[in-house]
C-alpha cells in the first residue's frame, strides 16, 4: 500500500466518520436555531433509533419498515421531550434548558440500559456486497449510504429554508423572534417541529451507522459529543457550518490517527475545538453575534 | 442486592441446617464473594450459578467425608470496597474456612490484605497474574483463570510454527489490552518473532481503519488483535473491508457467540486461543478434561437453561480445588492452604492444575486450544 492510497484510505474513513458527526451537528443546529436550546440529549436519539430498529427487526418486521417505524417513534419522542421537558423552561435563563436536556440524556441512557442491557447489537448492511476499491483504498457501501443521506438531508434543508413558507417562517424566527410573532408566526409550534425533526434526523443517523459502528445503550453519548463539537466549530447557527465542522472533525481524527499516532485521534478533535474557540469564538461560519432571545 | 444476598445466605443456612439435622458430620463453612451485579455481572452471574449448582450437588451426595458444606455467597456489586467488607464479614463473623472470589482483578486484589493477615485461603477467579504474584506475598492466595502470558505464548508459538515472523500488534486501551501488550511483548521475542508495529484504539472507538491502514502498509505477515467485543468485532469488520490478506489472530476475549453475531461474515477465518469449554465436543476422547467439560456443560444447561461460560468454569475450578483440599485437610485453614499448594494434575474446566509453592495458578499452555471460526462456528485446529 503506497502513501497515496493510504492517504485516500484516511480520507474515506474521515468522510464516513465526519458525515455522522455532520448529521448530529445538523440536528443540533436545527433545534438551536429555532428554540435557542442546546439539546444535549441528541446522542440519545441516535441510540434509540438504532436500538428500536434492532428490536423491531427482531420482532419480525421487514427491515425497511422497522427502520421507518424506529425513526417515527424517535421523532415522537423528540416531540414529547419538547412538550414535557423543554417548553416549560423556555423562558428561563439559558443554562436551565441545557441542564434539563442533560438530565434527559442521562435518564434516556438509563432507560436504554434497562431495555436493552449492556449487550452490543448490529443491523444488516443496507446493500450487501464487497467494499468498493478506489485507487488502492477501500470504501464500504454503507459509507456511501451515510454520505448520500447527508447530501439528501442538506438538499432537503436547503429547499425547506429557501423555497417553502414554513422554512421562511423558521428563518424569520431565527432573525427576530418578536417581529416574527407580530407577523403571525408561532415560534412555539416551530420549536415543537424542530424537536420532531431532530429526533427523526438523529434516529436515521443512528440506524445508518449501526452496520458500521454497532450499537450499545451508550453509543450515542460520544457521537453526540463529537456532533456537538462539529456544530460549535461550524458556528452553532449555520447549516453549512455544521456540515463543514462535522466533516472537518472526522477528517482530522482520521488523519491524526493515521499519520501521527492512533492515540492522537481525540486529541486532534479537542485541539481543533480549542483553536477555533480561541481564534474565532463564534465558529467558522458563525454570525459574529450572540444569540438574543 | 445485599437483601438478596442475605436471603440467599438464609436459605443456604436453612438447607445446611436441615442436612446437619440428619445426623451428618459438622458442617464446613466456606464463603464466596462474587461480582453478581454491577459492570462485571456478565462474569459474576455464571459464577454464582455454578457455585450454587455445585454446592447443592455436593450436599445431595453427602458433602465432604460426611460433612455438609455451607456456602455463603456475597455480592460485591463489582465494587472494591464492598469486596473488602464482604471478605471481612466472612472471616470475622462467619469464620469461614476459605473464600472463593472475586470475579475481576480489582475486586480480587481488594481482598488480599484481609486474607493474608487472617491467614485464610482464597481462590480468585480473575485473570491478572499479580493476584498470585509475587508468590511470597501471596502465601494464602490462589487463582483459577489463566494468566495473560499463557495466552500470549500460545499465540506466539502458533505464529512461529506457521513461519510468520513479522507481526503487527493492535490492542484496546484498557486493562485487558494493556495486560495483553505487556505479555505479548515478552512472548514474541522469546519465540523469535518481531513486532513490527504496535497500534492501540479506545474501547469506544467506532472505526479502526486508520490503525489498520498502517498495518496494511507495514511488512507484517500476521496481525494480533488483543480486544473484546464490540471493538474486537469492529476491528474484524474493518480488517476484511480493507482486504488485508494476512492472518488475523485474536484472543480468548472474543470467545462468545456475541462476537460471531456482531462481526458476521467477517468473523470467518479469525483464529484465537481459548479454554477448551468452547469446543468440548470436538476434543479427542483422550483429552483428560473432556469428560469434566461435557459433564459441566450438561448439568449447567439442565439447571439454568443457558450455555455455561468460561467464567463459570473458573468458579467450577475454584470450588472443586477447594473441595479436594478439604477432603485431604479437614477443617483447618493452614492445612487447607498446604493441600491446595500440593494439588497436582487436577483436570478442571479451565485446564489442568499443577499447584506448587512457586505457582499458585498452576496452569500451563495445555489449558488452551487454538480455534478458528468457520461458517460462523468454532472449529478446533
Give the mean model confidence (pLDDT) for residues B30-47. 87
Which residue from B204, B216, B258 is facing A222, i.e. has the nearest CB? B204
C-beta of residue B49 within 8 angstroms of C-beta of residue B314: no
Residues B174, B313, single domain; the answer is: no
The pLDDT confidence band at residue B3, using thresholds 50, 70 and 90, is low
Phi, psi of B359 (to 5 degrees): -135, 105
State how far the Cα of A138 lies from the Cα of A121, in Å rounded to an integer.
Answer: 24
**B351 and B147 in contact (C-beta within 8 Å)?**
no
pLDDT, greater one: A91 or B252: B252
Q: Which of A14, A16, A15, A38 is nearest to A27 (CA)?
A: A38
In Å, how far from its chain's centre is CA B73? 18
Q: Are A122 and B201 an interchain contact pair (Cβ–Cβ within 8 Å)?
A: no
What would the pLDDT profile of B224-243 be if each residue is shown by its tens digit? Answer: 999 888 889 999 999 998 88
Mean pLDDT (chain B) is 89
Residue B272 and residue B340 in one domain: no
Question: By mean pLDDT, which of A85-94, B10-19, B195-204, B372-381 is the weakest?
Answer: B10-19
Same domain assignment for residues B215 and B269: yes
Q: Is B262 on the interface with A (CB under 8 A)?
A: yes
B205 phi/psi in degrees, rounded to 5: -65, 145
- Which CATH number is A108's domain given? 1.10.3470
* Domain span holding position B232: 148-280+368-380
Environment class of residue B372 by beta-carbon count within 10 Å: exposed (0-12), middle (13-18) or buried (19+)? middle
Three-state SS at B72: strand
**Chain centroid offset of residue B100 CA:** 13
Cα-based distances in Å from A13 to A18, A57, B80, B121: 8, 28, 40, 52
Number of residues that this document lists for chain B: 381
Cβ neighbours for A93, distance < 8 A, ≥ 6 positions apart = none
Residue A292 counted as domain residue: no
B22 in any annotated domain: yes
pLDDT score for B195: 94
Total domains, chain B: 2
**By the CB < 8 Å criterion, does A55 face chain B?**
no
Query: Chain A contact for B257, CB < 8 A?
Result: no
Residue identified by cell 461560519 is A285
What's the domain count of chain A?
1
Partner-chain contact B210 A209, CB within 8 Å? no
Predicted pLDDT at B361: 92
In a shared domain, residues B218 and B248: yes
- Residue A212: list chain B partners with CB under 8 A: 206-207, 234, 237
Q: Is B201 helix (H, G, I), strand (E, B) or coil?
A: strand
Task: Nearest chain A residue to B230 by CA: give it.
Answer: A120
Compute the distance between CA of residue B242 and CA of residue A12 in angstroms, rounded to an integer: 11
**Is B15 a residue whose pLDDT tops 70?**
no
Per-residue pLDDT of chain A (293 residues; tens, 9 = 90+): 678 888 898 899 899 989 999 999 999 888 888 888 888 899 999 999 999 999 999 999 999 999 999 999 999 999 999 999 888 887 788 788 889 999 999 999 999 988 988 778 889 888 887 788 887 888 888 999 999 999 999 998 889 888 988 888 888 877 787 888 888 888 888 888 889 999 999 999 999 999 888 888 888 888 898 899 899 888 888 888 899 999 999 998 888 888 877 777 778 777 877 888 888 877 777 654 444 33
Assess whether B13 and B141 both reside in one domain.
yes
**CATH number of the domain that residue B228 is part of:** 3.40.50.2300
| CB contact A142 to B (< 8 Å) | no
Lowest average pLDDT, out of B21-35, B253-267, B325-339, B344-358, goes to B21-35
Cβ-based neighbours of B320, under 8 Å, separated by 6 or more: B54, B346, B348
Answer for the pair B303, B360: CB distance below 8 angstroms, yes or no: no
**pLDDT above 60: residue B171:** yes
Question: Nearest-5° angle of CA B3, CA B7, CA B10?
Answer: 140
Q: Are both B362 and B271 inside the same structural domain?
A: no
Q: Which of B199, B209, B243 sits opposite A13 (nearest CB)?
A: B209
The pLDDT > 90 percentage for chain B reads: 64
Indicate yes or no: CB of B213 within 8 angstroms of CB of A118. Answer: no
The reply to whether B24 touches chain A by the CB within 8 Å rule is: no
- Does A263 reside within a domain? yes
**Mean pLDDT, to the nearest integer, of B169-188?**
89
Interface check for B216 against chain A (CB to CB < 8 A): the answer is yes
Q: Which of A17, A10, A11 is CA-nearest to residue A229?
A: A17
Which letter does DSSP use for residue B195 in this model?
Answer: E
Confidence (pLDDT) at B284? 92
- Looking at the fold, whether B40 and B165 belong to one and the same domain comes out as no
Looking at the fold, whether B272 and B301 belong to one and the same domain comes out as no
Residue B257 falls inside a structural domain: yes
Is residue B287 a part of any domain in this protein?
no
pLDDT of B157 above 50: yes
Instruction: Give B-chain residues touching A270 at CB under 8 angstroms.
Output: none
Report if residue A224 sits inside a domain. Answer: yes
A120 part of contact set with chain B, CB < 8 Å: yes
* Percent of chain B topping pLDDT 70: 94
Q: Is it the case that residue B24 has pLDDT exceeding 70?
A: no
Whether residue B162 sits in one domain with residue B38: no
Convert the pLDDT of each residue in B104-136 to its tens digit: 888 999 999 999 999 999 999 988 888 998 899
How many CB pairs below 8 Å do chains A and B form together? 78
Q: What's the CA gap between B7 and B9, in Å, rounded?
A: 5
What are the distances in angstroms from CA A162 to CA A148, A155, A159?
21, 11, 5
Q: Note whether B321 and B297 are same-domain residues.
A: yes
Cβ(A72)–Cβ(A135) under 8 Å?
A: no
Grid cell, residue A109, equals: 441512557
- The shortest C-alpha distance from A225 to chain B (Å) reads 13
The residue that leads in pLDDT, B81 or A118, is B81
My answer on whether B113 and B180 are in the same domain is: no
Whether pLDDT at B145 is above 80:
yes
ipTM for the whole complex: 0.78
Which helix H or strand E contains A107, and what residues bound it?
Answer: helix A95-116
Q: Are B280 and B290 in contact (CB under 8 A)?
A: yes
pTM (2 d.p.): 0.78
- pLDDT at A287 (0 to 100): 59
**Residue A284 included in any domain:** no
**B285: in domain:** no
The predicted pLDDT at position B325 comes to 95
Report chain A residues whose CB lies below 8 A from the CB of B229. 120
pLDDT digits 0-9 by tens, B286-304 = 999 999 999 999 999 999 9
A212 to B206: CB separation less than 8 angstroms, yes or no: yes
Contact A214 B214 (CB under 8 A): no
Q: Write out chain B residues lying below 8 Å of A216, CB-based.
A: 230
**Directed axis angle between helix A165-175 and helix A141-163, to 10°?**
80
d(Cα B139, Cα B154) in Å, to the nearest integer? Answer: 28
- At residue A289, the pLDDT reads 47
How far, in Å, CA of B291 to CA of B276, rounded? 12
Average pLDDT over residues B346-371: 92
- CA-based nearest residue in chain A for residue B38: A118
Per residue in A59-76, pLDDT (tens digit) is: 999 999 999 999 999 999
Question: Does residue A293 lie in a domain region?
Answer: no
Domain that holds residue A62: 3-127+136-279
Same domain, B142 and B198: no
Residue B33 lies in a domain: yes
β-strands A137-139, A132-134 pairing: antiparallel
Please list every residue in chain A whose beta carbon sits closer than 8 Å to the beta carbon of residue B198: none
CB contact under 8 A, B201 and A138: no
> Residue B74 above 60 pLDDT?
yes
Contact B364, B352 (CB under 8 A): yes
Query: Mean per-residue pLDDT for B86-107?
Result: 92
The C-alpha of B103 sits at a distance from chain A's nearest C-alpha, in angstroms, of 18
Q: What is the pLDDT of residue B40?
A: 79
B261 close to A (CB below 8 A): yes
Amino acid at each position: 500500500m503506497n502513501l497515496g492510497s493510504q492517504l485516500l484510505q484516511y480520507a474515506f474513513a474521515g468522510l464516513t466518520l465526519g458525515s455522522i458527526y455532520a448529521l448530529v451537528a445538523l440536528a443540533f443546529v436545527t433545534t438551536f436555531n429555532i428554540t435557542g436550546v442546546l439539546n444535549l440529549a441528541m446522542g440519545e436519539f441516535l441510540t434509540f433509533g438504532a436500538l428500536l430498529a434492532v428490536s423491531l427487526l427482531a420482532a419480525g418486521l421487514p427491515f425497511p419498515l422497522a427502520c421507518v417505524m424506529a425513526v417515527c417513534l424517535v421523532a415522537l419522542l423528540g416531540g414529547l421531550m419538547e412538550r414535557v421537558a423543554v417548553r416549560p423552561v423556555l423562558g428561563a435563563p439559558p443554562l436551565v434548558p441545557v441542564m434539563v436536556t442533560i438530565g434527559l440524556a442521562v435518564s434516556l441512557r438509563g432507560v436504554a440500559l434497562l431495555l436493552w442491557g449492556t449487550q452490543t447489537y448490529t443491523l444488516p448492511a443496507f446493500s450487501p456486497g464487497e467494499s468498493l476499491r478506489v485507487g488502492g483504498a477501500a470504501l464500504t457501501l454503507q459509507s456511501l449510504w451515510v454520505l448520500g443521506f447527508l447530501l439528501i438531508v442538506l438538499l432537503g434543508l436547503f429547499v425547506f429554508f429557501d423555497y417553502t413558507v414554513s422554512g421562511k417562517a423558521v428563518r424569520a424566527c431565527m432573525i427576530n423572534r418578536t417581529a416574527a410573532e407580530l407577523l403571525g408566526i408561532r415560534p412555539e409550534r416551530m420549536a415543537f417541529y424542530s424537536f420532531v425533526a431532530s429526533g427523526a434526523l438523529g434516529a436515521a443517523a443512528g440506524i445508518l451507522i449501526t452496520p458500521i459502528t454497532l450499537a450499545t445503550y451508550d453509543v450515542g453519548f460520544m457521537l453526540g459529543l463529537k456532533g456537538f463539537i462539529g456544530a460549535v466549530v461550524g458556528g452553532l447557527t449555520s447549516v453549512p457550518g455544521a456540515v463543514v465542522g462535522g466533516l472537518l472533525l472526522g477528517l482530522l481524527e482520521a488523519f491524526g490517527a493515521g499519520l501521527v499516532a492512533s492515540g492522537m485521534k481525540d486529541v486532534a478533535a479537542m485541539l481543533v475545538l480549542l483553536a477555533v474557540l480561541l481564534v474565532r469564538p463564534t465558529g467558522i461560519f458563525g454570525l459574529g453575534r450572540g444569540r438574543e432571545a | 442486592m445485599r437483601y438478596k444476598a442475605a436471603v440467599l445466605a438464609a436459605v443456604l443456612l436453612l438447607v445446611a441446617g436441615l442436612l446437619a439435622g440428619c445426623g451428618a458430620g459438622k458442617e464446613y463453612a466456606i464463603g464466596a464473594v462474587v461480582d453478581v451485579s454491577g459492570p462485571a455481572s456478565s462474569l459474576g452471574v455464571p459464577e454464582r450459578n455454578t457455585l450454587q449448582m455445585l454446592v447443592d450437588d455436593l450436599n445431595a451426595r453427602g458433602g465432604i467425608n460426611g460433612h455438609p458444606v455451607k456456602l455463603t455467597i456475597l455480592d460485591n456489586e463489582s465494587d472494591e470496597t464492598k469486596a473488602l467488607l464482604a471478605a471481612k464479614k466472612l472471616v470475622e463473623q462467619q469464620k469461614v474456612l476459605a473464600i472463593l472470589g472475586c470475579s475481576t482483578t480489582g475486586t480480587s486484589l481488594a481482598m488480599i490484605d484481609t486474607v493474608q493477615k487472617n491467614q485464610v485461603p482464597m481462590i480468585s477467579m480473575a485473570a491478572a497474574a499479580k493476584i498470585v504474584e509475587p508468590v511470597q506475598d501471596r502465601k494464602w492466595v490462589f487463582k483459577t483463570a489463566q494468566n495473560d502470558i499463557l495466552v500470549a505464548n500460545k499465540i506466539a508459538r502458533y505464529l512461529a510454527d506457521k513461519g510468520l515472523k513479522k507481526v503487527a500488534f493492535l490492542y484496546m486501551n484498557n486493562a485487558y489490552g494493556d495486560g495483553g501488550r505487556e505479555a505479548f511483548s515478552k512472548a514474541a521475542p522469546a519465540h523469535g518473532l518481531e513486532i513490527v508495529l504496535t497500534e492501540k484504539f479506545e474501547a469506544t472507538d467506532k472505526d479502526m481503519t486508520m490503525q489498520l491502514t498502517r498495518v496494511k502498509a507495514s511488512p507484517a505477515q500476521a496481525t494480533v488483535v488483543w480486544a473484546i467485543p464490540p471493538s474486537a468485532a469492529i476491528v474484524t469488520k474493518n480488517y476484511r473491508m480493507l482486504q488485508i490478506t494476512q492472518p488475523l489472530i485474536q484472543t480468548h476475549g472474543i470467545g462468545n457467540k456475541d462476537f460471531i453475531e456482531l462481526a458476521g461474515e467477517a468473523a470467518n477465518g479469525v483464529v484465537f486461543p481459548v479454554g477448551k469449554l468452547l469446543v468440548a465436543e470436538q476434543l479427542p476422547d483422550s483429552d483428560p478434561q473432556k469428560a469434566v467439560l461435557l459433564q459441566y456443560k450438561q448439568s449447567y444447561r439442565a439447571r439454568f437453561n443457558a450455555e455455561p461460560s468460561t467464567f463459570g468454569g473458573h468458579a467450577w475450578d475454584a470450588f472443586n480445588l477447594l473441595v479436594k483440599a478439604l477432603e485431604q485437610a479437614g477443617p483447618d485453614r493452614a492445612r487447607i492452604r498446604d493441600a491446595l499448594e500440593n494439588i497436582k494434575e487436577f483436570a478442571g474446566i479451565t485446564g489442568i492444575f499443577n499447584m506448587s509453592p512457586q505457582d499458585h495458578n498452576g496452569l500451563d499452555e495445555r489449558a488452551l486450544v487454538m480455534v478458528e471460526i468457520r461458517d460462523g462456528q468454532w472449529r478446533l485446529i
